[in-house]
Amino acid sequence: MHIKSDDIVKVISGEDKGTVGKVLRMLRDEHKLVVEGVNRVYRHVRRSQKNPQGGRLSKEMPISISNVMLICPVCGKASRTGVRLKSDGAKECFCKKCDATIRALSPASAAKTRS
Ligand SMILES: [Zn+2]
Residue 35: its pLDDT value, please?
Answer: 97
Give bridge partners of residue 83 from the DSSP assignment: 93
| 46-90 residue pLDDT tens | 888 887 887 888 899 999 999 999 999 999 999 999 999 999 999
Neighbours of ion ligand 1 (CB under 5 A): 72, 74-75, 95, 97-98, 100
Please tell me the distance between residue 92's alpha carbon and the centre of ligand 1 in angstroms. Answer: 14
Residue 56: its pLDDT value, please?
Answer: 84
Quickly list DSSP for the chain.
Answer: ----TT-EEEE-SSTTTT-EEEEEEEEGGGTEEEETTSSEEEEEE---SS-TT-EEEEEEPPEEGGGEEEEPTTT-SEE-EEEEE-TTS-EEEEETTT--EEEEEEPPPGGG---
pLDDT of 110 > 70? The answer is no
On average, the pLDDT of the chain sits at: 90
Please tell me the distance between residue 46's alpha carbon and the centre of ligand 1 in angstroms. Answer: 46
Residue 47: its pLDDT value, please?
Answer: 84
Please tell me the distance between residue 78's alpha carbon and the centre of ligand 1 in angstroms. Answer: 8
Q: Where exactly does CATH 2.30.30.30 map onto the chain?
A: 1-71
Domain 1-71 has CATH 2.30.30.30: yes
41, 63 in Cβ contact below 8 A?
no
